Amino acid sequence: MPTGNTRSRRSSNNAREIDLISRTRRQYVLLDFPRSYPNCPVADSTIPSPVSLHDLRLGDALALLKHGGTVDSLVPPQESSIEYLQGVIDGLCELSLKDPLTGLANRRQFHTVLERGIEVVARSGESALLLMLDIDHFKKVNDTHGHQAGDQVLQAIAKCLEGCVRPMDTVARYGGEEFAVVLPNCQVSFGAAVAERIRRAVEALSISISPLVTLHVTVSMGGAYAPEWVRSTTTLWTERADLQLYRAKSEGRNRVCLDHQQVISVSAEEKNMLFGHLALGDPAWIEAVNGDSTHSAAQKVNP
Amino acid sequence: MSEIQPSSPENPKPSTLPVAPFGKVLAVTSGKGGVGKTFVSANLAAALAKRGQRVLVLDADLGLANLDVVLNLYPKITLHDVFTGKAKLEQAIIKAPGGFSVLLAGSGMVEYSRLTPEVRDDFLKIVSGLIPHYDVLLLDTGAGISDVVLFAVSLASEVLVVATPEPTSLTDAYATIKVLVGQQARKTVRLIVNQTARLGDGRAITAQLQQVLDRFVTPESGQGVKLLHLGDIPADPMVRQAVMRRQLLMQTMPGCPAGLAISQLATKVMDTVIPR
């Protein structure tokens, strides 16, 4: 994935390459962590590329782009063949990261974002929240109103979710009627409020699937914070959020359950109780708490 | 779909506890680094070995191991080679000076500082492979409360938390215990207080921690965690000397105050901790 970045390191003296990279999508350039690109093979950019556009079979790629609606924004090949080709590649990358039905990030993109989130949390210690959502009784929608209505519901919810979060957050379609939201830099005290806002927004949504039929759906939501200052894994993170989603479902749906277990924090109140005596400078605190007369080994041997 | 389905083939079921803990596996952990966790592990192992126990210390600090430094052992074959399949488990087990066995993590384990399903499986396989051959398995975990540390601790039937009387160490020990109660539903945790200045420090600290735990960390079920005071190791210049010389205190100066404290600790471990 992060070839753009690797190229920028290898060929920093090559202005044309840099120019190209600056135009590639931002997520490639942002992956600024050595762990993210373990020795990907990269073509030596000092050798001029002799590839001509006529030698490439771009038919399938262009058909895909046309279907995705991005073919018109390409730079004409006669103007700059390299920019044209770059546009084709960028367009394909974008397609490969999107869910075709809802336009949200797909699972592939979701995992990249999660991995990046974990790196950021491990390095900066800021908390990141992962929410997993599942539409309640979605099968009923499909069974009663048909799959097309089901698709409309999915699209409406996708739009609603995107409207509920900040531009820096990622909304992804995780599976059938399951969505995921990754919220980097989301303070622990705000998590519940954000999740609740999303739940309410979906609940308030009127989805008209035909001129006469309007549907209302609800979602169940589970959330977990990435453990702070710990380099965790995406699997463990999603597992924990999933567990909470399961809880939300089994507790009656249309609700939010957040996992707080991994939030390792010791409150001021706890600290106060731990060392309250120390802070007061009371030298008698040890004797006061130590009621019995058990001696440590040292005192037994030391005269 | 009205019921939640497994989300993907690679994480079929959400689970918090990876496996049931094994008997006779003791985890030594601390939260904060530099409180003498590895020193305690190595010397406690030597003291237990002196009492006729077959002991193995496993360097469970996969990311930043330093048991090798404490023991002054730099073997060619390490846990890293076992993980990567270059060597068999028994080839990596070496005899430490104190009469116990060690399994050192070795360099190049940085890639295992993250708990992946593979690391989890490899680790589990190694620990279960070792169990039949020893009376006591000591897992010397890393500092912090990372996934790897929590996983290593989850394999142990007993947790020994090492702390010093310093507020920073106590806070981290407290945070560790809090997580262990929340994540692994631990009912008992044993505390070793290292570098104590005065008689009774350890007991007082244990009582203090217990009070805070009772107040803030009582699980919904009602039954809280019981913090048991396993023993103190007094501040002793001989410890520093042994560490600087990279010798085992229990070998070179077993009669110094810290050495005697560790002997007593070993007796208490045999009497109360190791299942018979």
- pLDDT digits 0-9 by tens, B134-160: 999 999 998 777 778 888 898 898 999
More confident residue, B219 or B249: B249
Q: Looking at residue A10, what is its pLDDT? A: 42
Question: In sequence order, what are the residues at sequence separation of 6 or more whose Cβ sits closer than 8 angstroms to the Cβ of residue A79?
Answer: none
In sequence order, what are the residues at sequence separation of 6 or more whose Cβ sits closer than 8 angstroms to the Cβ of residue B186? Answer: B159, B177, B180, B225
Neighbours of A286 (CB within 10 A): 23
Q: What is the maximum alpha-carbon separation in chain B? A: 69
Per annotation, catalytic residue among A17, A115, A119, A177: A177
Q: How many beta-carbon contacts under 8 Å exist across A and B?
A: 155
Structural domain includes residue B9: no
Between the alpha carbon of residue B273 and those of residues A41, A123, A157, B188, B230, the distances in Å are 53, 38, 55, 11, 9
Contact A296 B232 (CB under 8 A): yes
The stretch B232-240 carries a mean pLDDT of 95
Beta strands in B127-250 (DSSP E): 136-140, 156-163, 188-196, 226-234
Interatomic CA distance for residues A239 and B43, integer angstroms: 38
Question: Quick one: B132 exposed, middle or buried, by C-beta within 10 A (0-12, 13-18, 19+)?
Answer: exposed
User: For chain A, what are the domain ranges?
Assistant: 3-97, 107-259
Note whether residue B11 is domain-resident.
Answer: no
Q: Is residue B8 part of a domain?
A: no
The mean pLDDT value for A153-165 works out to 96
Residue with tokens 């210390």: B57
Residue A9 CB neighbour total at 10 angstroms = 9
Q: Measure A48 CA to nearest chain B CA, in Å.
A: 37
Residue B156 forms part of a structural domain? yes
**Over the stretch A120-142, which tens digit does the pLDDT of each residue have?**
876 666 789 999 999 999 999 99
- For residue A192, what are the CA distances in angstroms to A149, A197, A221, A255? 31, 8, 11, 11
Give the pLDDT of residue A292: 40
- Per-residue pLDDT at A16 exceeds 60: no
Amino acid, res. A269: E
Residue A278 has pLDDT above 80, yes or no: no
CA pair distance B8, B13, nearest whole angstrom = 9
Please state whether beta strands B101-103 and B55-59 pair in parallel, antiparallel, or not at all (unpaired).
parallel
- Nearest residue in A to B184, CA atom: A261
pLDDT of amino acid A125? 62
* CA B176, chain centre distance (Å): 12
Asked if residues A68 and A92 have their Cβ atoms less than 8 Å apart, the reply is no
Q: Determine the structural domain holding residue B221 and report its residue range.
A: 22-271
Say if the Cβ atoms of A231 and B234 lie within 8 Å: no
The larger pLDDT score, comparing residue B13 to residue B224, is at: B224
Closest residue to A243, CB basis, from B16, B116, B208: B16
Q: Is residue B199 part of a domain?
A: yes
Band the pLDDT of B80: cuts 50, 70, 90: confident
pLDDT at B5: 36
Q: Per mean pLDDT, which range of B7-16, B67-76, B220-229 is the poorest?
A: B7-16
Report, as an integer, the average pLDDT of A290-302: 37
The residue of chain B nearest to residue A278, with distances taken between CA atoms, is B167
Q: Binning pLDDT at 50, 70 and 90, where does residue A234 land?
A: confident
The CATH number of the domain where B126 resides is what?
3.40.50.300
- When pLDDT is cut at 50, 70 and 90, the band that residue A189 belongs to is confident
Neighbour tally for A63: CB within 10 Å = 11
Residue B114 in any domain: the answer is yes
A119 is catalytic: no
Identify the pLDDT of residue A264: 60
10 Å CB burial of residue B114 (0-12, 13-18, 19+) is: buried
Q: Could you tell me the pLDDT band of residue B16, with boundaries at 50, 70 and 90?
A: very low
Mean pLDDT across chain B: 84
Cβ contact (<8 Å) for B170 and A285?
no
Number of domains making up chain B: 1
Distances (CA, A) of B144 to A51, A295, B14: 53, 31, 24
Contacts of B232 in chain A (CB under 8 A): 296-298
- Let me know if domain A107-259 sits in CATH 3.30.420.40: no
Q: How confident is the model at residue A213 (pLDDT cuts 50, 70, 90)?
A: very high
For A270, the closest of B117, B207, B216 (CB atoms) is: B216
Name the one residue in this structure whose structure tokens are 């005071």. B229
The mean pLDDT of B47-63, rounded to a whole number, is 90
Dihedral, CA of residue A59, residue A64, residue A67 and residue A72, to nearest 10? -70
Name the residue in chain B with its Cα closest to that of A243. Answer: B14
For B215, the closest of A230, A273, A287 (CB atoms) is A273
Task: Report the DSSP pairing between strands A213-215 and B226-234.
Answer: unpaired
